[in-house]
């Protein structure tokens, strides 16, 4: 049995679906109850329900991450539960560059990686760049604005479906600690990605790019969140934008 945390999320949904399509028995963990008999209710910020969720589980794909509870707190609580319910393989989704980036969320993600590495639990850690949908959310939030404002750095977005496919491969393999980063096929200025989005959606408006201040801004400007080209992903953001516009 494979337990997928964050199974209701952007990455968790296609991952659980692909795992089921590959024939694995999958249990989806969420804080919310559902009619799905294959789902289980648990809260990683308190540990409530976690012990029951882990019964009979051999692999955990840990994709949950919450804004209100720190990523490392959730990982710590999961590892405490795994001490009582050992598994053969824990797979953790992380982000490219977390070991050098100044962004607080990334630093905390790095702490999660360190906790897992020190836990003795057989594990694999996959880092990915930002998902296409992450950028799309930023552009959608500005759809009524006469200009699109973006930070003046480069991004290497990746298709979430391709990350999910990679996770399925990692589930099928033995634990490997850090595996190769998974990044999108192109490194492009945020400004150009916004122009691609606007073009696909038939919006003619200027794109302004502004520098982000402070250490976080410098880290993004340096490209600490980027992988090396070429990334393993194939699907481009322009393709994603065209598909999103066509399915409006």
CB 176 within 8 A of CB 169: no
Strands (E) in the chain, as ranges, are 2-5, 26-30, 39-41, 59-62, 89-95, 123-128, 148-151, 154-155, 177-178, 188-189, 207-210
∠ Cα 5 8 12 (to 5°): 60
Per-residue x/- marks for ligand NAP, 21-60, CB under 6 A?
---------xxx----------xxx---------------
Residues in contact with ligand NAP, counted by CB under 6 A, come to a total of: 26
Choosing from 128, 171, 194, 244, the residue that interacts with ligand NAP (CB under 6 A) is 128
Which residue lies nearer to ligand NAP by CB, 45 or 239? 45
Does 6 participate in binding ligand NAP (rule CB under 6 A)? yes
Q: Residue 91: what are its φ and ψ, rounded to 5°?
A: -115, 130
Say how far apart CA 104 and CA 97 lie, in whole Å.
12
Does 95 participate in binding ligand NAP (rule CB under 6 A)? yes
Which residue lies nearer to ligand NAP by CB, 88 or 137? 137
Q: What residue ranges bind ligand NAP (CB under 6 A)? A: 5-6, 8-12, 30-32, 43-45, 63-66, 69, 74, 93, 95, 109, 128, 130-131, 134
């Amino acid at each position: 049995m494979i337990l997928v945390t964050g199974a209701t999320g952007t990455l968790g949904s296609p991952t659980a679906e692909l795992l089921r399509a590959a024939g694995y028995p999958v249990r989806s963990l969420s804080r919310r109850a559902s009619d799905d008999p294959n789902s289980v209710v648990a809260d990683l910020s308190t540990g409530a329900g976690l012990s029951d969720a882990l019964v009979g589980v051999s692999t955990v794909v840990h994709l949950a991450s919450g804004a209100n509870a720190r990523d490392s707190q959730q990982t710590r609580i999961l590892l405490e539960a795994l001490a009582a319910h050992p598994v053969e393989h824990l797979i953790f989704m992380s982000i490219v560059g977390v070991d050098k980036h100044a962004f607080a969320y990334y630093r905390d993600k790095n702490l999660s990686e360190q906790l897992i590495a020190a836990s003795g639990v057989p594990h694999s850690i996959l880092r990915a760049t930002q998902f296409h949908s992450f950028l799309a959310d930023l552009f959608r939030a500005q759809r009524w604005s006469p200009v699109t404002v973006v930070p003046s750095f480069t991004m290497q977005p990746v298709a979430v479906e391709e990350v999910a496919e990679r996770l399925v491969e990692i589930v099928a393999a033995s634990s490997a600690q850090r595996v190769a980063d998974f990044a999108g096929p192109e490194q492009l200025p945020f400004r150009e990605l916004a122009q691609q989005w606007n073009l696909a959606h038939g919006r003619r408006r200027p794109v302004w790019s502004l520098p982000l201040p402070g250490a976080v801004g410098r880290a993004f400007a340096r490209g600490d969140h980027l992988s090396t080209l070429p990334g393993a992903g194939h699907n481009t953001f322009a393709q994603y934008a065209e598909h999103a516009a066509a399915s409006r």
